[in-house]
Amino acid sequence: MTAAVPSRIQPAVERQQHARRGDNRIAVLWFPDWPVQAALLEETRHGISPESPAIALASNHRITACCDKARGHGVRRGMKLRAAQALCPSMVVRDTDPQRDGRLFSTIVEELENVSASLEVLRPGMVALNLTAATRFYGSEQAALEHFIDAAAHEGIDATAGAADELPTAIIAARHRVLGAVVQPGDSVAFLYQQPLSVLLAEPALGCQKDTVETLAGLGISTLGELTELPTTAISTRFGSAGLHCHRIASAQQQRKVAPGAVELDLSASITPEAPITRVDEAAFIARMLADQVHQQLATQGLNCVRIKIAAETDDGTTISKIWRTTTALTEHATAERVRWQLDGWLSSGGAGAIVELSLTPLETQIPTNTGSIIEADTAVAEETTVTVVSRLQSMLGFDAVQQPHAVGGRGVAERVRFLPYGQAAENIREPGRHSAEWIGAIPSPLPTRLGGGLDHPVSRVRLVDKHGNPVFVTAEALLSADPAGMSWGKKKFQVLGWSVPWPVDTGWWESEIFDESQRLARMQLVGKNTGDQHPKAWLLVWQHRAWRIEAMY
């Protein structure tokens, strides 16, 4: 694929075409919306069919990933969950789970290793492969790329391929339009020239800083070609190493083969557990120990690691390994996470036996540089500090002393949150929305933002009356006795502006031999406004024991 370029940069194109002979070709496979694909793949393996063609993942009440169907309704990454659900009410929402992303992607990588002798995982959802070696084996680049796609496309997984002389160019080519692009040898400069500047931020694996790219855009630079026309000295003076990094990508100057030679220093660490590792929680503990050993050795040498090899030996003598690469220096926590993902994938797949030895080997290191902004540095330090403090608290008070909330399935509000010890994988819990048939009578989205005092708390009790001042209650037919006109909550009086039809919930009465009236309740959404308030308020009410109570507030 080529593009017309101005005559002033034609010499650069000719120099590149003369220098490149096709002996350093790199292919990149990109799995669009991988977190969404991973969530669907996990459900498919459990025999669960998607409830809706539109699906999104959320964390901290914001969308982190979504499918094409959801995007067609206007849903975007970073959008508030409530706004997204308003745009697409039928959208199914799952929790963001980086561990799931890494674990399931390891199974895809295993398939790719059957058709490629050299590959690197750039992140869950993107992998780089040595195209030159594969071309010699399969006869042509096209045949090699077809084998890559076929190996990755099992179980309905979507992937696009890109190929180029440089890794960053191949990454951009893989995300080009819908099907990816093959940049012919020597054509990288011409291909990149017309690419919008925004491609530098579209893919985290490129490692470009957001503030740097946004500043360049604010200066009127809209394409990579316009960026390459700026003098290198001007970029270096104004933007430092972060700007030079973007400039080198745009100029197709970065040349690194897939899986280059390892560093000469022996910074590896290994551990042989007393008993073979068969459980994920054991693997997580070993991962933290190994990560600590490796990073202590890196700190002694004053180095950062950006590419690391995870290897394990099983009880049947088989050795399995994977290589992980990042654009930024691996922290101890990030290293432990990747080891845990990989071990989880190996142990969960059932193909590998019990692990009797585990090793970590840094394959590519670099001298630390102060390229990040103060804000980014503070954020990284704060994250590391949080993990350190939590670890110390758990060592002093016990593993269960620090709890972390996880969203689970359920009908009510409080029962949709389950607390687990910090750092423990959320396994064997009811995932929200996974089995919707089990939650007949569940609260519809969007969910309330604040819990009330609880159904038994005295301050949660309210009184509903009709326009004549008579109490409003739920009849045996699960209907309101009258239209509510007012609500009293302590000394506060609210005019009722709207309400939903009450829906009854039988909370497990069939599990008890003795019928308990307290197990039957009805919920209703209600909107009201107090005199003097500028905006109305909304509540989730519960009718139980012949009384109304506030369960939660919107």
Residue 45 resides in a domain: yes
What's the total number of domains in the chain? 5
**Interstrand relation of 269-271 and 62-66 (parallel, antiparallel or unpaired):** unpaired
pLDDT for 453: 63
The residues that bridge with 130 in the sheet, in sequence order, are: 26
pLDDT for 375: 33
Could you tell me which of 474, 486, 458, 456 has the C-alpha nearest to residue 523? 474
pLDDT tens-digit series, residues 275-325: 888 887 787 788 888 888 998 888 877 778 888 899 989 888 888 888 887
Residue 173 resides in a domain: no
The CATH number for 202's domain is 1.10.150.20
Residue 175 resides in a domain: no
Residues 46 and 77 in one domain: yes
Residues 543 and 511 in one domain: yes
Q: What is the 3-state secondary structure (H, E, C) of 254-280?
A: CCCCCCCCCCCCCCCEEECCCCCECCH
pLDDT for 192: 96
Domain that holds residue 472: 450-553
Q: Percent of the chain, pLDDT > 70? A: 81
pLDDT tens-digit series, residues 378-424: 444 455 567 667 767 776 777 678 888 877 777 777 777 788 877 66
Distance CA 206, CA 196 (A): 14
pLDDT for 533: 83
Distance CA 342, CA 277 (A): 13
Looking at per-residue pLDDT, the higher value among 13 and 235 belongs to 235
**Interstrand relation of 355-366 and 304-314 (parallel, antiparallel or unpaired):** antiparallel
Residue 437 resides in a domain: no
Pick the range with the lowest mean pLDDT from 117-121, 402-406, 482-486, 547-551: 402-406
Looking at per-residue pLDDT, the higher value among 437 and 36 belongs to 36
Residues 322 and 410 in one domain: no
Half-sphere exposure of 487 (CA within 13 A, CB side): 29
Residue 264 resides in a domain: no
Pick the range with the lowest mean pLDDT from 109-123, 416-430, 473-487, 506-520: 506-520
pLDDT over 80 (residue 265): no
Helix, strand, or coil (residue 384): helix
The residues that bridge with 529 in the sheet, in sequence order, are: 495
Pick the range with the lowest mean pLDDT from 293-302, 323-332, 341-350, 374-383: 374-383
Whether the CB-CB separation of 242 and 371 falls below 8 Å is answered with: yes
pLDDT for 162: 97
Which residue carries 């009086």 as its tokens? 493
Distance CA 193, CA 251 (A): 8
> 166: Cβ–Cβ under 8 A, 6 or more apart, which residues?
26, 188, 252, 253, 254, 255, 256
Q: What average pLDDT does the segment 85-98 reach?
A: 92
Residues 454 and 529 in one domain: yes
Helix, strand, or coil (residue 123): strand
Pick the range with the lowest mean pLDDT from 60-74, 133-147, 458-472: 458-472
Pick the range with the lowest mean pLDDT from 224-233, 268-277, 492-501: 268-277
The CATH number for 288's domain is 3.30.1490.100
The residues that bridge with 66 in the sheet, in sequence order, are: 56
The dihedral over CA atoms of 69, 72, 74, 78, expressed in degrees to the nearest 10, equals: 50
Residues 409 and 473 in one domain: no
Residues 362 and 381 in one domain: no
Which residue carries 């394990």 as its tokens? 312
pLDDT for 395: 64
Residues 198 and 245 in one domain: yes
Strand positions, DSSP E, 290-387: 304-314, 319-325, 355-366
pTM: 0.59
Pick the range with the lowest mean pLDDT from 112-116, 354-358, 477-481, 529-533: 529-533
pLDDT for 405: 81
The dihedral over CA atoms of 342, 345, 346, 350, expressed in degrees to the nearest 10, equals: 170
Confidence of residue 470 (pLDDT cuts 50, 70, 90): very high
Residue 155 resides in a domain: no
Q: What average pLDDT does the segment 215-238 reach?
A: 91
Residues 383 and 360 in one domain: no
Residue 141 resides in a domain: no
The most confident of the ranges 91-95, 316-320, 448-452 is 91-95
The CATH number for 80's domain is 3.40.1170.60
Residues 403 and 466 in one domain: no
Residue 406's H or E segment, with its range, is: strand 403-407
Residues 360 and 381 in one domain: no
Boundary of a domain, candidates 255, 282, 303? 255
pLDDT for 454: 60
pLDDT tens-digit series, residues 27-74: 999 999 999 999 999 988 887 777 678 999 999 999 999 999 999 999
Boundary of a domain, candidates 46, 63, 96? 96
Residue 499 resides in a domain: yes
Cα angle 463-409-80, degrees, rounded to a multiple of 5: 80
Residues 413 and 495 in one domain: no
pLDDT tens-digit series, residues 510-525: 444 444 555 578 889 9
Residues 549 and 457 in one domain: yes
Boundary of a domain, candidates 80, 96, 112? 96
Helix, strand, or coil (residue 96): coil
How far CA 545 is from CA of 377, 476, 520, in Å, comes to: 55, 13, 9
Could you tell me which of 59, 61, 60, 70 has the C-alpha nearest to residue 33? 70
Provide the token pair at 259: 């899986």
Distance CA 127, CA 111 (A): 12
Looking at per-residue pLDDT, the higher value among 397 and 172 belongs to 172
Note if the bond before 32 is cis, omega within 30 degrees: no
Rounded mean pLDDT of the chain? 82
Looking at per-residue pLDDT, the higher value among 428 and 152 belongs to 152
pLDDT for 189: 94
